[in-house]
Amino acid sequence: MRIFSKVLILIFTFSFASYAQEGNPVYAKNGMVVSASTLASQVGLEILKRGGNAIDAAVATGFALAVTYPAAGNIGGGGFMVIHLADGKNTTLDFREMAPIKAHKNMFLDSLGNFLPDLSQKSWLGAGVPGTVAGLVYALEEYGTMDLEEVIQPAIDLSKNGFHLDYRLANSINSENEVFKNIEASKKIFTRDGEKLKIGELLVQKDLARTLEIIRDEGSDGFYEDEMAKKIVEESDKNGGIFTIEDFENYKVVERDPIIGNYRGYEIVSMPPPSSGGICLSEALNALEHFTFKREEWGSSRYIHTLTEILKQVYADRAEHMGDADYYNVPTNYLISKEYGEVIKNKIGETARPATEFHPAEIPRFKEKEETTHFSVVDKFGNAVSTTYTLNGSYGNKIVVDGLGFLLNNEMDDFSAKPGAPNMFGLMGSEANSIQPMKRMLSSMTPTIVLKEGKPLLVVGSPGGSTIITSVLQVIINVLDFKMNVYEAINAPHIHHQLFPDQIDYEPFGLSEDVKQNLISLGQKIGIERYLGRVEAIYIDQNKNCFFGTSDPRGFGKAVGF
């Protein structure tokens, strides 16, 4: 098995440059993996080829991304997994990070009550208890068919033997050089004695390999108990953090019932709180269902105006009502009801409502960071997996745990450290998402599976912080309403509105000048041009029994199948 993995690494290393993003969906008959890393996608595909199911392949891909996509792939973060099984069962796994036991509501405020973002974003205090290892191992044990040793070994070999840095990854790592070189443990891995890495250089991560080997041999206990947990707590104590052994011993994956909506006869299976994604997606689709748009109206001012007014209400509800449902009574059933969708529809007029009518608090613009990553997997047996996981900011808080080789998240920033104050993505929150010990922070992650007559039709998700929800929503609309293929649906320009700032952001070539002027005449405000989301999706053609996958051309990932 290990010889097999090493041979794969050589293949990956020497053929990496030959992989280019296709201008059409990738076709496959037996299985498919789509992720933000070509190497990780190939790891997952090899598991499928060896008879593994979609869950086996997803776990292998998740561990591989921790090696090959360090900006967001991780074992020091957390996330969400939506699973559809061939027997018809739908379920979700919540392995979101958790606030430490010593966390408290005012931990990121100064003596005058001012929010201190550096503490929540750039320090050990900003790290939540990681959930990824527990989540991936749980998924494998409950729904996989292979042993952990088999699915994690490719990630071990990639970290131990190394892989050559392509242009994109070298530039990504080097963009954080000023930070990495001032953190000794990070400097050892992501710089060469403080200097920037070179394109084509071999990136070897020996400490990470040893950590993955412990997980291979001991399972999740190897991460959450014994010497590794003690080492994390020791480093936390040295650097002003508040982790305790109890934080790791008490961490549990939570298997939750999914949010299931119905849109024009399709079932939409998505993530419940502490993800806001499923509720927001279902709420938006319930309102949109009251409108009909011809194919030729895609991108029109009428379509964008309608979508924008719906999104304003969705993000207002997100800010006011959403948080960890184990700690706060989220009105889920009402928010995702058809009745509430009609309420939203009835409020949409021919002119724009200002954001302050939805929520009285105005907040400043924050620059969106490229964080989080998504991967989608399907197999020939009828199983499908949609997984989004993250470190929050790009490379998390940039701190590698000394001797263990993995980066820490800065997910504590996703709490409402001060109600009304924005996080790094410009999102605001209320008491529903306030900091409490052992609570899980609200997320925008929206891993989703669309079913037609009970069988998977579309497996989709995206990174992008506050833009995740709008990116996933528009791809689903593009496929179901505008009948685009999965490549066209992803590649089509997106728009984004998150209530505050009160403006429509858009992608290059996304809004023509006359559409902008029409929107302005309706009272909408035009924002900035920027790229929105990086969707990884698979479309299942149920009639032809085959798969079509696309890795977003905005990124550098790969759809692979056989």
Confidence at 359, pLDDT banded by 50, 70, 90: confident
**pLDDT for 366 beyond 80:** no
| Digit-coded pLDDT (tens) for 470-506 | 999 999 999 999 999 999 999 999 999 999 999 999 9
Give the sheet arrangement for strand 26-28, strand by strand.
Answer: 26-28, 546-551, 536-541, 455-461, 448-452, 266-270, 259-263
Instruction: Please state, for a pLDDT cut of 70, what percent of the chain lies above it.
Output: 92
SS3 470: helix
State the CATH class of domain 256-369+445-561: alpha beta
In sequence order, which residues have a C-beta less than 8 Å from that of residue 227 and are 6 or more positions away? Answer: none
Confidence at 281, pLDDT banded by 50, 70, 90: very high
Whether 211 is catalytic is: no
Round to the nearest angstrom and report the end-to-end CA distance of the chain.
Answer: 21
| Digit-coded pLDDT (tens) for 121-134 | 999 999 999 999 99
Report the pLDDT averaged over residues 110-114.
Answer: 90
How far from the centroid of its chain's Cα atoms is residue 213's Cα? 26
pLDDT of residue 420: 58
Q: Which residue from 414, 435, 533 is spatially nearest to 77, judged by alpha carbons?
A: 414
What does the DSSP 8-state code read for residue 125?
A: G
Report the pLDDT averaged over residues 436-452.
Answer: 97
In sequence order, which residues have a C-beta less than 8 Å from that of residue 538 and are 6 or more positions away? Answer: 32, 34, 376, 377, 378, 384, 458, 459, 460, 486, 547, 548, 549, 559
Report the pLDDT averaged over residues 94-104.
Answer: 98
**C-beta separation of 96 from 79 below 8 A:** yes
**C-beta separation of 199 from 167 below 8 A:** yes
Report the pLDDT averaged over residues 38-61.
Answer: 98
Confidence at 360, pLDDT banded by 50, 70, 90: confident
| Digit-coded pLDDT (tens) for 209-221 | 999 999 999 999 9
Q: Where in the chain is the domain with CATH 3.60.20.40?
A: 256-369+445-561
Q: Phi and psi at residue 407, in whole multiples of 5°?
A: -85, 150
Task: Please give the structure tokens belonging to residue 438.
Answer: 């052992």
**pLDDT for 287 beyond 90:** yes
| Digit-coded pLDDT (tens) for 503-534 | 999 999 999 999 999 999 999 999 999 999 99
Q: Which residue from 504, 551, 556, 505 is spatially nearest to 530, judged by alpha carbons?
A: 505
Q: Which residue in the list 372, 387, 390, 446 is annotated as catalytic?
A: 372
Confidence at 361, pLDDT banded by 50, 70, 90: low
Nearest-angstrom CA–CA distance, 327 and 345 = 30
pLDDT of residue 362: 56
**pLDDT for 12 beyond 90:** no
pLDDT of residue 426: 64
Report the pLDDT averaged over residues 47-51.
Answer: 98
Kindly report the average pLDDT of the chain as a whole number: 93
pLDDT of residue 327: 94
